[in-house]
Amino acid sequence: MTIDEQIKEVVDLHDRYSVVRYPDQSSCSPMELLDMFNTWHSKAAILFSRYLSNDDENLVKFKNIEKGNSYVNADLFDDIETFFQILIDKLHYSVAYQLESLIQEGNEIVKTISYVKAPSGIIRMFDVYNVEDETRYQTWKSKSIRFLNVNFKDDTESTAFVEAANSFDKSHYTPKYLKEMVGILISFKEIPNNIKRKENVKQTPPSAVTVNINQSQTQNQKINLFIEAISDELTGKQYKELQSIAQEESNPDTLKQKIVEKLKSFGGDVLSNIVANIITNPSVWNSML
């Protein structure tokens, strides 16, 4: 089961339970509701623990809840729904998710390669193949190389991926090289340790290694900083409303205006508390001193 399929499963379980969770408003029995809640929460906790850090504050809060009977769980659902939505978002930014998506798309592109027959009367000394969507392939290749440079820059397999890509392009899209590229991505998924080449480790001073690591993590840190800043201030419903605006509005200026207006509608203290959470975060606060 892919990460997308696992995410869909827990989201579907979440949505089904949210509709029928109150025993006095549901056709389900209290025992059925109890089982629905426990199934959703257990599968979600396993999914998050598999791909996210177990030190994540939202994950800790989500996992360590005090479950009760069907009535208690119905009310508890409101308290942990925000954590659930935040963790789903984080999952989409995780290295594991991005890697899984690249592997899946690579396999799809492999299936679109077709053999090009030589014109009548022409004898070729080599085979020629065609990729159905050239733009899609080139975009996938660029994204994959960018991903490996950010997350596995000093791993020898990152260099092997680029070499396989060059061979694929030069060999008139011979399928075996594209399959090799996908295989390299799979190897990172199954054995994700970033093993640096010995010569690079000897030549690179510790301070430079620290800089490289910090740079590769900058984007995720910024995202996590914002997500954590709002996690204690918004309910699950409010968080979903912000998500809906972000998904529907593509113009940055209009999006900013709508987000601010929506935050104001939540109450005067919400916006100021979110800003305070960001400023008082140690990584931000220390840089201001």
pLDDT digits (tens, 9 = 90+) for 243-265: 777 767 767 777 777 787 777 78
pLDDT digits (tens, 9 = 90+) for 221-235: 555 656 666 666 677
Q: Which residue has the tokens 């080449």?
A: 197
198 within some domain: no
Are 272 and 227 in the same domain?
yes
Are 163 and 102 in the same domain?
yes
Tally of domains within the chain = 3
Domain boundary (53, 72, 92) is at: 92
Domain boundary (70, 92, 114) is at: 92
Taking the model in full, what pTM does it have? 0.58
49 within some domain: yes
Domain boundary (59, 92, 125) is at: 92
Question: Which of 92, 102, 112 has its CA nearest to residue 184?
Answer: 102
Query: Which structure tokens are listed for 182?
Result: 């996908």
195 within some domain: no
Are 218 and 183 in the same domain?
no
pLDDT digits (tens, 9 = 90+) for 3-35: 889 999 999 999 999 999 888 887 889 999 999
State the residue range of the domain holding 50.
3-92
Contact criterion met (CB below 8 Å) for 90 and 68: no
Are 68 and 107 in the same domain?
no
